[in-house]
């Protein structure tokens, strides 16, 4: 029996005694993070939001196997935030639609969640009315024309049914109940975020895109919990890291009783991890800002500027002369001169190992 087939559906219940300590921990970290962000300048807040929102959008889509171009997503998020950054590529209309949908969830968190708003989100995800090569109903509830809505895995002839959603004839009524609860429930917004996500994907009201829209609803409710349109942490990033467990928890909740204590605990655990990780992201942004402020008067050539941006961002492995030459598309001698110049300026230091293993480390101002 699926949870939506039980006579008590959709009267969810959970153990407050079990959930409350996790909620308190998450609330504490939430307050600490938001307090830290209020103490930094507006520009750094924008940079932190650009990092976290870009990651959140990339990972929410990756969970469903929809891999987006990171540069396009970052450029589109920057556009939404009003950040002018040189060298960013022009995102496609498709990427802009996805970003607009997910930014709307948090930047307009006070706005009522309605059927028409969800239809608009769905249009943004599927602007041409196709999911891959499959034509789907867009901007409206599913009609089950091709049979029941099921979550299935496995190849043809070896399909395993993990879940079957309520029939299309019930979707309108089911969604009315959910949307009314989202706007009028008395539960803490973090608890609401957990329940609303499970409830929405259990109804599975659309032909496709239910997971991404379900996570956007969670983001909206977490923004209400933050009381801020700024988002400095990514729950979707944590879900993507533990995707197998995410789907296991959903399946257990959808096949279980209306007691969803375990699901709420798992969800709050993800929020807790995402808040902890955001502190590390903030530290990196502050470190990067301090570096450039310290070197305001230091002269760098174009290659050095590009390499420093890499070293202050997503640089993997050790910096060696050969790697500099390859990345900057210059000769070995030119790379060596660039490196020696940065050492003289107190920007790089030579690591202890010499010879062919010679590598260099970025020095941060104290």
User: pLDDT at residue 44 above 90?
Assistant: no
In eight-state DSSP terms, residue 111 is: S
**pLDDT category of residue 91 using cuts at 50, 70 and 90:** very high
> Interior CA angle at 67 toward 64 and 68, to 5°?
125
How far apart CA 253 and CA 196 sit, in angstroms, is 13
User: pLDDT at residue 84 above 90?
Assistant: no
Which contacts (CB < 8 Å, 24+ apart) does range 154-158 have? Answer: none
Instruction: State residue 328's pLDDT score.
Output: 95
How far apart CA 339 and CA 193 sit, in angstroms, is 50
CB half-sphere exposure, 94, CA atoms < 13 A:
11
- The pTM of this model reads 0.83
Which contacts (CB < 8 Å, 24+ apart) does range 351-359 have? Answer: 351/318, 358/320, 358/321, 359/318, 359/319, 359/320
Instruction: State residue 310's pLDDT score.
Output: 87
Question: Model confidence over 188-247: pLDDT tens digits?
Answer: 999 999 999 999 999 999 999 999 999 999 999 999 999 999 989 999 999 999 999 999
Question: Model confidence over 147-157: pLDDT tens digits?
Answer: 999 988 877 77
Closest CA to 228 of 121, 117, 79, 108: 108
Of 74-83, 94-103, 119-128, 275-284, least confident by mean pLDDT is 275-284
How far apart CA 359 and CA 307 sit, in angstroms, is 14
Instruction: Please state the rounded mean pLDDT for residues 18-43.
Output: 91
Question: Model confidence over 238-260: pLDDT tens digits?
Answer: 999 999 999 999 999 999 999 99
Question: Model confidence over 179-190: pLDDT tens digits?
Answer: 999 999 999 999
Measured in whole angstroms, the distance separating CA 51 from the mean position of its chain's CA atoms is 10
Which SS3 state, helix, strand or coil, does residue 160 take? strand
Instruction: State residue 344's pLDDT score.
Output: 95
Question: Domains, the chain, ranges and CATH?
Answer: 3-288 (1.10.3290.10), 301-362 (1.10.10.10)
Instruction: State residue 355's pLDDT score.
Output: 63
Question: Model confidence over 309-363: pLDDT tens digits?
Answer: 889 876 878 899 999 999 999 999 999 999 999 999 999 999 987 666 789 999 9
Question: Model confidence over 271-320: pLDDT tens digits?
Answer: 999 999 887 777 777 788 888 888 999 999 999 999 998 898 768 788 99
How far apart CA 243 and CA 210 sit, in angstroms, is 16
Which SS3 state, helix, strand or coil, does residue 360 take? strand
């Amino acid at each position: 029996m699926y949870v939506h087939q039980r006579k008590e559906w959709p009267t969810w219940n959970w153990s407050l005694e079990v959930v409350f300590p996790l909620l308190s921990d998450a609330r504490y970290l939430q307050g600490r993070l938001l307090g830290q962000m209020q103490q930094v300048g507006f520009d750094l807040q924008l940079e932190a939001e650009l990092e976290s929102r870009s990651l959140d959008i990339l990972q929410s889509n990756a969970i469903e196997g929809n891999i987006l171009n990171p540069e396009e997503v970052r450029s589109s998020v920057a556009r939404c935030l009003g950040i002018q950054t040189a060298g960013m590529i022009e995102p496609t209309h498709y990427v802009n639609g996805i970003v607009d949908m997910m930014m709307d969830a948090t930047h307009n968190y006070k706005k009522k969640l309605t059927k028409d708003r969800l239809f608009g989100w769905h249009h943004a995800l599927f602007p041409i009315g196709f999911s891959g090569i499959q034509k789907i109903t867009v901007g409206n509830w599913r009609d089950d024309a091709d049979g029941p809505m099921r979550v299935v895995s496995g190849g043809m002839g070896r399909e395993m049914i993990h879940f079957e959603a309520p029939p299309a004839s019930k979707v309108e009524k089911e969604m009315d109940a959910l949307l009314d609860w989202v706007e009028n429930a008395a539960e803490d917004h973090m608890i609401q975020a957990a329940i609303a996500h499970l409830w929405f994907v259990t109804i599975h009201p659309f032909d496709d895109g239910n997971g991404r829209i379900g996570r956007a609803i969670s983001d909206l409710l977490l923004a209400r919990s933050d009381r801020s349109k700024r988002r400095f942490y990514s729950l979707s990033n944590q879900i993507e890291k533990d995707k197998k467990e995410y789907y296991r928890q959903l399946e257990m909740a959808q096949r279980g009783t209306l007691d969803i204590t375990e699901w709420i605990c798992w969800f709050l655990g993800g929020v807790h991890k995402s808040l902890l990780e955001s502190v590390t992201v903030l530290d990196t942004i502050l470190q990067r800002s301090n570096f450039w402020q310290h070197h305001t008067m230091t002269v760098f050539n174009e290659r050095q500027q590009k390499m420093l941006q890499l070293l202050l961002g997503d640089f993997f492995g050790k910096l060696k002369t050969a790697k500099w030459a390859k990345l900057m598309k210059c000769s070995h001698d030119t790379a060596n001169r660039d490196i020696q110049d940065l050492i003289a300026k107190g920007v790089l230091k030579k690591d202890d190992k010499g010879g062919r293993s010679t590598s260099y480390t970025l020095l941060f101002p104290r």
